[in-house]
Structure 1
Amino acid sequence: MKKIEIDDFKITSKIDIKNQPTTFDLNEGEKNIEKEQQKISRKLAKLQNTMYAHDKYAVLVCLQGMDTSGKDSLVREVFNEFNVRGIIVHSFKVPTELELSHDYLWRHYIALPERGKFGIFNRTHYENVLVTRVHPEYILGENIPNINSVEDINDAFWDKRFEQINNFEKHIADNGTIIFKFFLNLSKDEQKNRLLRRLEKQEKNWKFSPGDLKERKLWDEYQACYEDAINRTSKDYAPWYNIPADDKPTARYIVAKIMYDTLSQYTNIQEPELDEDIKDNLEQYKKQLKSE
């Protein structure tokens, strides 16, 4: 299998999203790619157990991408080896009445993983500078002071919101959260194919919504918003990764490999040493149990 490096996918300078690949050839068959991904997933699960005992770091995995880019299946396949106590997944939908009564980051903040655990944001706080930017009328539902009409939502508004998101991520990173932000970069042609499969396969019909086609017509607007968001918020403490997503097994492998290789660089993540008194009396404890 072709060797990959983190820097092949990390966004460290300004990008033109049209030049970011949606395919990547691992020079390997699908079954072998899936086997290699599962090997890495098992290593990640073992590492998470160590992180749980270490209790110093949390991991936040942010998944963003156009409809059908493979977010749900990636979560299912990459994290299926994890102990359920060590991971929690949040799929953020349209804000509820309660969520709208708070600032837009509130529902994301309270969903952050605790130390020792992985948190997966399937769609993330970036919806607040993506969907709302394509549909600025949604902002009016947030009932923000001095925002009374769409005309009030100007460039300065978005500048401030990006600043707030960067500050949010810097704050949690400084306090022990390791952040991965994956943009599942799907081509428009492949999205068309996946939408057609939803219509043609009865067991997938439930996934389809006519709204998918309405949003597809806004493809260029979404791409422009993704490009701007990535360029403004890919930081060393919270980098974005462009994940070619036209082939799902390849995308899953790349995501798993990036996470494992990155976390393996944290050499201070180790299981805590036993208390000396306990360590000195291990044999005694064994005898006590065996003599029952």
Structure 2
Amino acid sequence: MNNYKVTTQINLNDFTTKEVDEKAGKKLKKIRKEISKLQDIMYAEGKYSVLICLQGMDTSGKDSLIREVFKDVNARGVVVHSFKVPTELELKHDYIWRHYIALPAKGKIGVFNRTHYENVLVTRVHPEYVFGENIPSVKSLDDLNHDFYNKRMDEINNFEKHIADNGTIILKFFLNLSKEEQKNRLLRRLRLKEKNWKFSPGDLKERKLWDKYQFCYQELLNKTSNEHAPWFIIPADDKPTARLIVAKTILITLEQYNFKEPELLAKYKVEIENYKRQLESE
């Protein structure tokens, strides 16, 4: 998976948006079952949790990826959070608060569909949104400069280092979609009646800001990919292949931890045959 992992300074233009594996669907079925088994063992061990962060432009396939990759995981073993515009309560706290309280408990997989990185993406493209946070040091748009967002990225790095040190395995995926493929997917939403509900005129407004978003993504990929919380750039034009790459990355990473199921206490283990006889004699 090192082909996709961000380990050095990158230029997004150097990365392909499309890879096609004709057997992606079949391969994924096998891999997601293995992920499910590992989650069961991880839950029993109770030492680690997993945080999967998904970012990407509109229509990059985040929702369907979550559905297909985690389909076989115990429903109580995976928790998905989709972060929208901050609520009134959330705005009364710092910008990371709502993400911190949504972190997965030990033994579980948490999926953030859009993440704390929205605070250096959407708010960077639309800096006026930051005024809703009522930050004492922010008095005008001039205060929302490169230093402001670099500081936020440092804060996010510290946040991720803290939770990683306390047992959260972090994997971050940027679904790298081409502008042409986004156009095709938006047109599909308009052409298919059953998909109309997904379309918003705001999608077209955001599309006009494509280059600004690409700049912001490149900045955060370069400044927030760390060994304890790496970013992976996933070619997203072909959905089945994108799902497969993400699933393989998750599986390979979790296998490295050698999760172990706890053993039965010795005083109970020696009595196993006795317990069997008691049940069988009922």
User: Which TM-score applies when normalising by structure 2?
Assistant: 0.99
Residue-pair matches, total: 282
**Other-structure match for 2:120:** 129
The 5 Å alignment of 1:88-167 reads: 88-167=79-158
1:236 corresponds to: 227
* Aligned-partner residue type, residue 256 of structure 1: A
Deviation at 1:25, TM superposition (A): 3.4
> Is the aligned partner of 1:19 residue 2:14?
yes
Q: Equivalent pairs: percent with the same residue?
A: 65
Give the Cα separation in 2 of the matches to 1:76 and 1:61.
13
Partner deviation per Cα, 1:85-108 (whole Å, 9 max, x = no partner): 111000000000000000000000
- Find the counterpart in structure 1 of residue 40 from structure 2: 49
Return 5+ residue gaps in structure 1 as ranges: 1-5
Mark the runs of 5 or more structure 2 residues left unpaired by the alignment: none
1:10 equivalent to 2:5? Answer: yes
Instruction: For 1:217 and 1:172, locate their aligned partners in 2 and report how far apart those are by CA, in whole Å.
Output: 36
Specify the code of the residue in structure 2 equivalent to 1:221. Answer: K
**3-state SS of paired residue (2:76):** helix
Query: 1:176 corresponds to which residue?
Result: 167
* 1:62 counterpart letter in structure 2: C
The one-letter amino acid paired with 1:10 is: K
Matching residue's letter, 1:95: P
Alpha-carbon distance in 1 for matches of 2:170, 2:134:
30
Task: Compute the displacement of 1:291 (Å).
Answer: 1.4
Q: What is the identity, as a one-letter code, of the residue corresponding to 1:14?
A: Q
Confirm whether residue 281 of structure 1 aligns to residue 271 of structure 2: yes
Q: CA RMSD in A?
A: 0.7
What TM-score results when the alignment is normalised by the length of structure 1? 0.95
Give the secondary structure class of the aligned counterpart of 1:225: helix
SS class of match (2:85) = coil
Secondary structure, counterpart of 1:270 in structure 2:
coil
**One-letter amino acid matched to 1:228:** E
| Greater than 4 Å deviation, 4+ residue runs | none
Deviation (angstroms), 1:238? 0.4
Shift of 1:18: 1.0
Q: Provide the C-alpha distance between the structure 2 equivalents of 1:146 and 1:185, rounded to a whole number of angstroms.
A: 34
Equivalent pair of 2:31/2:247 in contact (CA under 8 Å): yes
The residue number in structure 1 matching 2:56 is 65
Cα distance, 1:279 vs structure 2: 1.2
For residues 169-208 of structure 1, what are the structure 2 equivalents within 5 Å? 169-208=160-199
